[in-house]
Structure formats: C-alpha cells, structure tokens
Amino acid sequence: MQKIIGHLIDGTLVSSDSSRTQPVFDPATGAIRAQVALADASTVGAAIASAEQAFPAWRNTPALKRARIMARFRVLLEEQADVIAALITAEHGKVLSDAHGELQRGIENVEYASYAPELLKGEHARNVGPGIDSWSEFQALGVTAGITPFNFPAMVPLWMWPMAVVCGNTFVLKPSERAPSSTLYIARLALEAGLPPGVLNVVNGDREAVETLLHDPRVRAVSFVGSTPVAEHIYAEGCRAGKRVQALGGAKNHAVIMPDADIAQAVHALMGAAYGSCGERCMAVPLAVCVGDQVADALIAGLKEEIAAMHVGPGSDNTCDMGPLVTRQHLDKVRGYVDQGVAEGATLLVDGRTLTVPGHEEGYFIGPCLFDHVRPGMTIYQEEIFGPVLGIVRVNTLAEAMQLIDAHEYGNGTCIFTRDGEAARHFTDHIQVGMVGVNVPLPVPVAYHSFGGWKRSLFGDLHAYGPDAVRFYTKRKTITQRWPSAGVREGSVFSFPSSRT
C-alpha cells in the first residue's frame, strides 16, 4: 500500500477524498515514493470555505500577534531545516546544500513577514484642511490563493502565504504535484507555531484544483509562479473573473562577458548559475554572451576544465555538485533539446546525454552539456530548456549583446561580467530585464526587495514578496475625517472642496 499525500484543510490533514492520484517519484532512483491526491472541485471548495470562515477573526487579530506567530514559525523552520531539506531533495532531486539554500531564502521571507506591524502602519496627514485629518490604511483582501512550481517547493510558497497572512488574509495554497511533501510539512509547522485552523489551507492537485481556485468568487487574489503559458492563462482567466492576479513565468537569462572581465571569476559564477540545481531555476543562466572570440575561447577553456571535475549523482550524497532532473518526462525533454541543438548546427563541446550514475541507472540523470556557436533563432537559444545546458553566443560589441537580450521574449534576470563601471552602469540603466547582476550571476533580490521579471516573465504589475507583497495582498483605503467643534455650524458649500476654500 503506497503512502497517500493528502491536503491540509481547516487545520486537519485530509488523507484523500478523491479517486484521482498521481505518483511522486524519487528522481535519483526512479522509484515511486508515494501517491499525491489530486483534489477535485469539492475538496478545493472545502478549503476555500475554511479560509473564508477563518477570515473575520484573523483580520481583526492585531498585526503584532500575527507577526509573533511568524517569528515562532521561523524558529521551527530553522530547527527542522535538515528534515525539510531532505524532503526537498527526495522529490526534486537537487543536492542537499542547494535545498538548504532555498529553504534559507524562504526563511528570510518569513523573517520579513514578521515585520508586519511596521509594514502595515499606513500613512497619516494631519490638518489636510481646517480641522480635517486624513490617512490611508491597508486592509486585507479576504481569501487569497497561491499556485506554485516544482522547482522551489519550500521557497516559492514562502514568498507568498506568510506575507498574505500577516497582512490579515487567509490563504489556499496549491503546490506542485511533483514535489508536494516539503510544502505540506512546512504548512504543518505553521500550525504548530500558532496559525489558527483555516488561515492556511493546502490542497494538492492539478489543473482541476487550479481552475476551481481561479473561478471561485470567494477567492480575491491569486499569486502564481510557473511556466509562461500557464502564467498567461492564469493571468487572463483570473482577471476575467475579477481577481487581483500576479503571474510569474519562465525565463531565458543571458550573462554578458566583457573583454575586461575576470574570466576565472566568470567561469566559477557560470558553473553554479548554469548547472546548479541541474539548471532547474528560473534565474539559471543558460546563455553566455561573449564579447569577442578571445573571451569566448578563454571562457570555454575554463568551463571545460571545471565541468570535467564536476560530480553528478544523488542529491543526498554530499559530495555531489549536481543531482538528477525532476522526472523521466523532463529528462526526455531536455535530451531532446540537446539533440535539436546539434541538428540546428550548434557545436556540442560537452555532451552529458549518455551519463549514467552507477547504482542509480533508473535515475533521471543527465550530465552538464556545453554548446558553442549558439545563435538567435535556434530552438536552444529561444526556448527555456530548464536543464543543465549552457550555450555560448559570440558577439562583437556590448551593444550587440544588449540588442539580443532586449529582443528575447523573456526578461527575468541577466548579468554582466566586467571591470568597467561605465559599461556596467550603461547595462543596468538600459537593459529590458527585471533583475540585473553586475559580476553577480543570480541576482535574486533579498527578502526586503521584491522579485519579478519583465516582458513575458511576469504578468501583472506588482512583483513577488518584499514591499510589493504588502501592496498586492492589501487594498488601500483612505479616510478623511473632521469632528466639527460643538456649536460651530457651516453653511452649504457648492464648490468642489479644495485648499482655496
């Protein structure tokens, strides 16, 4: 009898009330670890009802009390970090140190959420007119929802619901069905920290659960992170249903390597950015745009040396640099992209397609791949591969590099490697991308900034977490107030009130 991963509704684990399930694999062995329940519309409806019922009391709970729960939750996350990291690795495949890294980034978001009383103070202006005061306050929306991808099962949900709930909302989370266990475990820790039942509900599921969340009128706002076609659909449908929506999508991030760059530093930075987490990061760098052939040749020499020293194997083995891909289906897709790169004329310098890991022959492993002479128009240039495939693109000038980046449909992250401050400033000033690094390959903003790409990497106006999350999960109300002095009566005024009167 296989273990069933169920839902968390109204503070209780619901094992499964649905006949539909899907296997959850261990990517390092290909074995089925468990079955995840796929919630039907009535199960999602029960989660929404629980969140709706919990809302009035939670909205009126002082922000400081809500924040204290987050502070306790943060301590529990730190204490349970090893358990959570092991769950991430077991279902996603990434190496343990990387799993700890994503969890730590998630914890930083919980820490930021615990500043809620300060973030929600609002704005006040005294005497905006004779005896009149005015203030703006940020009120909770009600039931909010989040839909998250497989590649950061701990961090991305923590981008969303801690900020939503400290702002006074209740939440229904729909994690990825491919890596559900760490997300559910973390949600249970939040209850242990004191989050009342119903404030956070977790429903596992697939498209049916998502469509129910999108169309239920009790859900006021939806945060989504995942691939661009789904993000675009969620944004359009959610807006049509009258909800506030932010939908973060896919990416194809370019690194520019200038002739004056420290090549050794660029090589090390690119190794982690291209092959870390087996390339399954929306901020991964799959394209290195080299300004000049000399730069390209030097970079390739350094990369080949580093790749030869890489250790690929199960994520639970601390000596490994890179684990497997998430599923067999995704492995086939990534291999297919490498085949296509060869067919379209790029030069495959390092071929990871045939790699096998002794003792893990059924695991979803692929070795690092390196292409030279990748050009716009090739499928491996245009599309997000989400695997350990790095392509070298050769250009002659920074302007040419920037034109390529700006012309690409995605605009999530980019970076430049240079010692020239003027070039770096020109790049950061003009490039059409939302998150930019200078000698920093993964410019993922810290928790007290917000995260978001441009172009088809984000649909919506507000970015994820940080200050934008306070705006996303609240609605502004502005109150203008006068208490007339006793006995003072004014006549009727027919002109529009202004500072002239």
Which residues are part of the catalytic machinery? 282
Interaction between residue 109 and ligand NAD (CB under 6 A): no
Q: Write the binding mask 7 to 46 for ligand NAD: x where contact by CB under 6 A, - elsewhere.
A: ----------------------------------------
- Interface residue with ligand NAD among 120, 147, 303, 405 (CB under 6 A) is 147
Q: Which is nearer to ligand NAD, 277 or 418 (CB)?
A: 277
- Binding region for ligand NAD (CB under 6 A) out of 206-214, 361-369, 398-406, 479-487: 206-214
3-state secondary structure at position 244: strand
CB 21 within 8 A of CB 36: yes
Q: Which is nearer to ligand NAD, 299 or 389 (CB)?
A: 389
Q: Write the binding mask 416 to 455 for ligand NAD: x where contact by CB under 6 A, - elsewhere.
A: -------------------------------------x--
CB 452 within 8 A of CB 413: no
CB 191 within 8 A of CB 197: yes
Q: Write the binding mask 236 to 275 for ligand NAD: x where contact by CB under 6 A, - elsewhere.
A: ------------xxxx------------------------
- Interface residue with ligand NAD among 182, 457, 473, 474 (CB under 6 A) is 457
Helix (H) or strand (E) holding 103: helix 96-113
Interaction between residue 235 and ligand NAD (CB under 6 A): no
Interaction between residue 151 and ligand NAD (CB under 6 A): yes
Helices (DSSP H) in 394-491: which residue ranges?
A: 398-407, 421-430, 466-472
- In the bound complex, what is the minimum distance in angstroms from residue 206's beta carbon to ligand NAD? 5
Interaction between residue 174 and ligand NAD (CB under 6 A): yes
Q: What share of the chain is helix, strand, coil (3-state, %, to 5)?
A: 40, 20, 40
- In the bound complex, what is the minimum distance in angstroms from residue 329's beta carbon to ligand NAD? 10
- Interface residue with ligand NAD among 160, 189, 230, 291 (CB under 6 A) is 230
Interaction between residue 472 and ligand NAD (CB under 6 A): no
Place of tokens 């899907």: 22
- In the bound complex, what is the minimum distance in angstroms from residue 247's beta carbon to ligand NAD? 9
Interaction between residue 98 and ligand NAD (CB under 6 A): no
Interaction between residue 207 and ligand NAD (CB under 6 A): yes
- Going by C-alpha positions, the residue among 325, 5, 287, 384 that lies closest to residue 151 is 325
- Binding region for ligand NAD (CB under 6 A) out of 1-9, 172-180, 366-374, 434-442: 172-180
Helices (DSSP H) in 344-413: which residue ranges?
A: 379-382, 398-407
- Interface residue with ligand NAD among 55, 73, 138, 152 (CB under 6 A) is 152
Query: How far, in Å, are 279, 315, 415, 446 from residue 173 at the CA level?
Result: 25, 27, 32, 23
CB 314 within 8 A of CB 357: yes
State how beta strands 435-438 and 413-417 pair: parallel
Tell me the C-alpha distance between 157 and 73, whole Å: 14
- Interface residue with ligand NAD among 371, 386, 417, 465 (CB under 6 A) is 386
Neighbours of 102 (CB within 10 A): 24
Tell me the C-alpha distance between 254 and 261, whole Å: 15
Interaction between residue 223 and ligand NAD (CB under 6 A): no
